[in-house]
Amino acid sequence: MAMRKRKRSAKTGRRVVVCAALALCLCGCQVPRPELPVVGEKKTESRAGGGYGAEGGAAEKGENPGGEMGWKDAPSSYAPQVRTETIRLAGEGEVQVPQEAALPAYRVVNEPYSEAEYGRYKEIVREIYGISWKEGERDAQGEFSGDGMYYLSFPFTDVSKDKTAILWIDRMDPNLTFAGDGEYQPDEGFRLLVSRGEAGTEEEREMLRQRLEEKSEAFIRRLSEEELCSGAFVRDEVRWLGIRTRNETTGKWEQGRYGLELVYERTCGNVPVPGREPTLMGKPGSAIQYIGFVYADDGTLLELKNIGRQSLEADGGRNGAEKAGEAAFILPFDAAAQIFEQYVRTYDDTRRALPAGGFAESAAAGDGAGTVTAIRFTRAALEYRYVPAAEEEGAEEGGFLRPVWNFYGTASVGQTRAGERSLEGEITPVANGREIILVSVDAADGSIF
């Protein structure tokens, strides 16, 4: 299979080369296909390593529990330090590594749903949520529930081997919405309700969260039992939302209710495959498969989206593995950390450091010599990245899983005076202050995605 070619713009096209001899003799450990019907917590378990970090950073020494792969010398923590005219990078966090014996590359094969599987899916929805469907009343895109309150989207005319399978359920209530717009953001709406004392107590919300997590995870387990999904899923996001309702008299939207969003991402064995997080520097990833739920404060299901369905096949000839499923070369953490810091150090265009999608739209208002991106590093993790087939030469459908070193953190943009360290004036958080991927380093060759 031909090597992949990644598209880079002129400024970010600088290839970071690791000028060191990285020799690693790997035994051909056979890795089974990661098809585990498990629902669990996010976060790869961190493991202490050999006690050295990248130049310019500090690493805490720890005991190495063993292992023969390229991540055996990863430190238990890492603290990068980079300062340029437009970038401030600091912070300290864990270095998280998987317990797997090897991280081979995988080919991702899309799997559409058959009519029989679609019928079993609807039955599980009825079993868990009590939603029944109008038999025989289906259009090209889906069908309504028996009471007309839900619509299940299933693009029958557009699901084939090279398409992403989608099953999306919406509650059809014209007087209720959790969607944001230019004037309203659900996160801010929820915080306002909390400040007013209109979002219940913390204890009440915690009880609601536990109950809804149990229901959501029961749904995923039933999908696995019916072979309607493969692999393990981890809870990727727990997010409280403000819900608006329409005033029947005035027709205006009003705040007063809240809801909960839960998102579960598929893993590869026990290794996360993050794909929904924005990326600060580089190209955003893609989710291999995720299942998302949105509930109202009374437990009513508002949305259930099941995006993607794939099987994984060991992909030989990648990352130095000569046979499918064999152990493959993994770039040691110290080399990946040096690449990360060097990439941040040379990434001097602040505006291009902002992820697309309007996460920091107002940041450009302060464009000028004093505009600075302040980055707080929070953790690094050896994970998988889903690379759609469109990004790989010679591929037609599906995609690939590639081991990567992901560096996480938060970022904000503001102004600073010459020689000053602190930001001043209007400071705009990137991605509403959430943890995002800062840089994703290919663990095979050290290039930046």
Q: Are residues 325 and 286 in the same domain?
A: no
Q: Are residues 277 and 345 in the same domain?
A: no
Is residue 12 a part of any domain in this protein? no
- For residues 211 and 233, the answer to whether their CB atoms sit within 8 Å is no
Domain encompassing residue 183: 109-311
Q: Are residues 201 and 287 in the same domain?
A: yes
How many C-beta atoms surround the C-beta of residue 276 within 10 A? 15
261-311 pLDDT, tens per residue? 999 988 888 888 888 777 888 787 777 889 999 999 999 999 999 988 888
Q: Are residues 100 and 113 in the same domain?
A: no
Q: Are residues 290 and 373 in the same domain?
A: no
- For residues 58 and 39, the answer to whether their CB atoms sit within 8 Å is no
- Strand pairing of 253-266 and 106-110? unpaired
Q: Which of 248, 261, 251 is nearest to 186 (CA)?
A: 261
What's the mean pLDDT in 239-245?
92
Q: What is the pLDDT of residue 370?
A: 64
**Residue 284 vs residue 217, higher pLDDT:** 217
Domain ends where: 311, 328, 355? Answer: 311
Q: Which residues contact residue 105 at a Cβ distance below 8 angstroms, ignoring those fewer than 6 apart? A: 314, 315, 318, 319, 321, 328, 400, 401, 402, 403, 444
Is residue 227 a part of any domain in this protein? yes
What's the mean pLDDT in 365-374?
59
Is residue 429 a part of any domain in this protein? yes
Q: What is the pLDDT of residue 368?
A: 41
Q: What is the pLDDT of residue 17?
A: 33
Q: Is the dihedral of CA 179, 112, 315, 396 positive or negative?
A: negative
What's the mean pLDDT in 60-78?
58
Q: Which residues contact residue 114 at a Cβ distance below 8 angstroms, ignoring those fewer than 6 apart? A: none
Helix (H, G, I), strand (E, B) or coil at 348: coil
Q: Are residues 156 and 291 in the same domain?
A: yes
Q: Which of 268, 401, 335 is nearest to 71 (CA)?
A: 335
Q: Are residues 116 and 52 in the same domain?
A: no
What's the mean pLDDT in 429-449?
88
Q: What is the pLDDT of residue 277?
A: 75
Q: Are residues 122 and 140 in the same domain?
A: yes
pTM: 0.72
**Count of all residues that appear for the chain in the document:** 449
318 pLDDT more than 70: no
- For residues 413 and 365, the answer to whether their CB atoms sit within 8 Å is no
Considering its fold, how many domains does the chain have in total?
A: 2
- For residues 298 and 200, the answer to whether their CB atoms sit within 8 Å is no
Q: Are residues 306 and 359 in the same domain?
A: no
Under the banding of pLDDT at 50, 70 and 90, the label for residue 392 is low
Q: What percent of the chain has pLDDT over 70?
A: 69
Burial class (CB in 10 A: 0-12, 13-18, 19+), 209: middle
Q: Are residues 50 and 92 in the same domain?
A: yes
Q: Are residues 289 and 367 in the same domain?
A: no
Domain ends where: 286, 311, 336? Answer: 311
206 pLDDT more than 90: yes
Is residue 16 a part of any domain in this protein? no
Q: Are residues 248 and 357 in the same domain?
A: no
